[in-house]
Structure 1
């Protein structure tokens, strides 16, 4: 099995506000990526476990909300690993927008 794709996104919001923004805007941010759909989103405290489908492949991961950073970890199936660099840049960009503007667009 390959190593997970990990993206850390720094913020200055504090844990509670960062989690609030992610909870309220994550679905809209994901919906703006046409080849991806969120199949599961389950919050347990400051951690969200998720499962997404992209290009017919399923990937699972988690988001951990910290006081000054959000850490996204995704296990990509082999087909999606070819797009790991693009996925990492997209996750970072969408996450930064969500944490700074609050709408993820």
Structure 2
């Protein structure tokens, strides 16, 4: 098994506002990426557990929301690992826009 892809995004919103902005965000993001399907998006307190499918491969992970940052951790299957750097940049970009937009 490969090491997880980890992305940390700082914010100044506080935990509650950051969670409000993120809830449903995975499904909205998947709607704009034709090869991505959300199998699960489940919140437990300040942590979202998720499972997505892309190109027939399943990836799972979690998002933890803190007062000053959001930390995403996802384990990519071997076929998707070649896209890890591109995925990390896209996640950081979308997350930053979502957490800094007024």
Shorter chain as normaliser: what TM range? over 0.9
After TM superposition, the runs of 4+ consecutive aligned structure 1 residues lying more than 4 A away are none
Measured against aligned partners, the alpha-carbon deviations of 1:49-92 in whole angstroms (never above 9, x if no partner) come to 00000111000000000111000000000000011000101111
Alpha-carbon distance in structure 2 between the residues aligned to 1:26 and 1:54: 13
Length-normalised TM-score, structure 1: 0.91
Length-normalised TM-score, structure 2: 0.94
The Cα RMSD (Å) is 1.2
Alpha-carbon distance in structure 2 between the residues aligned to 1:25 and 1:39: 14
- Within 5 Å, which residues of 2 pair with 1:54-69? 54-69=54-69
Report the equivalent of 1:12: 12
Alpha-carbon distance in structure 2 between the residues aligned to 1:65 and 1:100: 14
Alpha-carbon distance in structure 2 between the residues aligned to 1:10 and 1:76: 23
Give how far 1:101 is off.
2.4
Q: Structure 1, unaligned stretches of length 5 or more? A: none
Q: Structure 2, unaligned stretches of length 5 or more? A: none
- Within 5 Å, which residues of 2 pair with 1:78-97? 78-97=78-97
